[in-house]
Amino acid sequence: MQGWTLVFDLDGTLVDTAPDLAAATNHVLARAGLAPINESEILPFVGHGAMKMIEQALAAHGRRADPLELKEHFDSFIAHYRANIAVNSRPYPGIIAALTSFQRQGASLAVCTNKMEVHARALLDALDMTKHFAALTGGDSLGVSKPNPKHLTGTIDLAKGSAARSIMIGDSETDIRTAQAAHIPVVAVNFGYSVEPVSSFAPDVIISHYDELPGAISSLTAARSAQ
């Protein structure tokens, strides 16, 4: 793995963050005098930012908010989420062992997420995961965000890697399309937040548990090296 860079999405890929995101959304609803929603109702919007989750939660109650009200809801969401960022969020089974193994083999690891960088870093810090990554970029870090491929290639540059020897790991259409646009192989996890089966977006490999990731990476690096 020496010389290879593995780039991971965060929400729904490295960490199951939905419980704490749902809690922040329901905090907003409670302040608006509305009933809580189920976690499953916001999953499709996790990768699109807090505002989308708020709008979807309000829509579930048949409500729309004007820009000023939305800004107030957003500020309330962010304050609650920052204070409770890792109450129930947990790394997916097998990921810590996989990250440790790849590091020992000489791989450079990075995170490319549309989450705000400050929140991504705070979450990984709280879970003692930051130490695994040579680079971390959020949707506000580089002036572009996924699915723009420059978000991914910019992350690789910060990790001192090269696109020719990089692999993306993600859970969504956005992750897969980003990697494809950058001409980088992509491993899709099927346990994340994608509404549609990840197979419908034609990733290079699909895994159901992180125990399968080493084999997937080995096959992709071998194929890439043979080109």
Active site residues: 9
Task: Answer yes or no: are the C-beta atoms of 49 and 125 closer than 8 Å.
Answer: no
Task: Answer yes or no: are the C-beta atoms of 57 and 64 closer than 8 Å.
Answer: no
Please name the amino acid found at residue 62. Answer: G
Say how many C-beta atoms besides its own lie within 10 A of residue 214's C-beta.
Answer: 16
Distance CA 86, CA 56 (A): 23
Task: Dihedral sign for Cα 156, 18, 129, 101, please.
Answer: negative
Please name the amino acid found at residue 143. Answer: G
